[in-house]
Amino acid sequence: MSDNVNTGIQWRPTASNDALIKRARLLAQVREFFALRRVLEVDLPVLGERTVSDPHLDSLSTEGSQHYLQTSPEYYMKRLLASGSGPIYSLGKAFRANDRGRQHNPEFTLLEWYRPGWDESQLMAEVADLLQDVGCAPNAVAQRVTYRDIFLATVNLDPHRASLAQLVQLASDIAQRNMRGESRATCLDLIFSFEIEARLPPGVVFVHDYPECLCALAQLGVDGQGVTVARRFEVFLDRTELANGYFELLDANEQRQRFSEDNRQRKIMGKAEIAADEKLLAALDEGLPSCAGVALGIDRLLMHLVGAQHIDEVIAFSS
Amino acid sequence: MANYSTNEFRSGLKVMLDGDPCSIIENEFVKPGKGQAFSRVRLKNLKTGRVWDRTFKSGESLEGADVSEQNMQYLYNDGEYWHFMEPETFEQHQADKTSVGDTALWLREQDTCIVILYNGSPLAVAAANHVDLEITQTDPGLKGDTAQGGTKPATLSTGAVIKVPLFLNEGEVVSVDTRTGEYLNRAKK
């Protein structure tokens, strides 16, 4: 099918009919999965007064009213958890400015869920169940590997104990430019994204026990070697990053500190500071139940299910 | 020149890198689940022709390079420099051997070619895709041999040596594809 031959205006969907049918089926499967497990679907605002302070995320804001399109439903979900919602999931749109590429569209579909009383290990098992249920790698067993082991196996460096100089050296080799002055976190992200991700085993792979400097909103713990690690995991499906989960940070004061640290970083990066979400902090003050949470990119999962090379092939109308 | 941030990197954008003007070939956006996003950029160094792969943090920027392409008329070679003229302003530019490179083999006086200017000076020269050049030396051909394959070397007026069909003689003009150095057809004088 071609677009209008006279005007050349490309009005047709970017996704095939087959991809749209598979999308509808996937959304139904996800809802059924959680209905059977008695996890409540919550339908949350995409337009909010506050947004994340994460220096690596840029929110889209609305003109005039100073609201933000949400980069994830996380803060709303935590307020629900603190008010006693029990296990909840959200399946909806999220927005991230400037994210555009083969696997990124500024507007995308995010599945996020929280399990009060669970830790990240239990949640990883549930993610594996979900992936199996929707037809991913039906016969493959999900593998788990620590961030340390995959680093050691691939680049022969211990990510927790390597010196900053060693990380900068390796990052510079990969980037083909001098990365001196960059942080541990940036070097680790670079090494992982370019050197390790592409060499992960195929199928479903859980990478867990992240370095402390990559903790984001995860609690810290101590691993078998006595090293402080972030209780965070990422899920890879055929070497594509699919989901990111935490044993969630509960401490309101720690959260306050991370907000101000984010803003300090934003300032260095020349980005506008983001006011802390006081309602989230008040909810945390009241008490968030111990829980594990994960966010999973539905479009990427769909790319895998239909064998798409570009995210545009699974989105009816890409941005 | 303006600075360009990684999210403005597009193929064809001219930027400065390590002091040399470069043209962006492609830009791949890569982002971990949380944390720093990157751009893996493939660039062609316009001075050396070498292709570089470099990784930048999202939001980093590069200075734009003052590079432009101009159609110019090739005037003459004085033994050291090749001289070109802008057809509208009659402004003349001289290019050295490094900038002209192998394109010298396809430059015929009065022909129009493309000169890439960097900070106003020629950085590289590209001939038209097809040029007509006279054969100045070739061994005698075989009469009547027009259909059979078979080629022989021929030296053209610019010094280039190409393979031509056997039936062509000295003094004849041929069309050449300058990108491949291949004979295309016999041209009118």
Which chain A residues have any C-beta within 8 angstroms of a chain B C-beta? 54, 56, 98-102, 104, 174-177, 182, 185-186, 189-190, 192-194, 214, 216, 232, 234, 241, 243-244, 269-270
Of A54, A177, A241, the CB nearest to B32: A241
Please list the pLDDT of chain A residue by residue as tens digits (319 residues): 455 677 888 899 999 999 999 999 999 999 999 999 999 999 999 999 999 999 889 999 988 878 999 999 999 999 999 999 999 999 999 999 988 889 999 999 999 999 999 999 999 999 999 999 999 866 667 899 999 999 999 999 999 999 999 999 999 999 999 999 999 999 999 999 999 999 999 899 999 999 999 988 899 999 999 999 999 999 999 999 999 999 999 999 988 998 899 999 899 888 889 999 999 999 999 999 999 999 999 999 999 999 999 999 999 998 8
Contact A159, A188 (CB under 8 A): yes
- Would you state the structure tokens that stand for residue A144, as one six-digit string? 């788990």
B157-171 per-position pLDDT tens digit: 999 999 999 888 899
- The Cα–Cα gap between A104 and A236 comes to 15
Cα-to-chain-centroid distance, residue A233: 10
Amino acid at A107: E
- The Cα–Cα gap between A216 and A269 comes to 18
Contact B37/A216, CB-based, under 8 Å?
no
* Cβ neighbours of B31 in A, within 8 Å: 56, 99, 101, 104, 193
ipTM for the predicted complex comes to 0.84
- The Cα–Cα gap between B177 and B143 comes to 26
SS3 at position A286:
helix
Of A99, A185, A232, the CB nearest to B36: A185
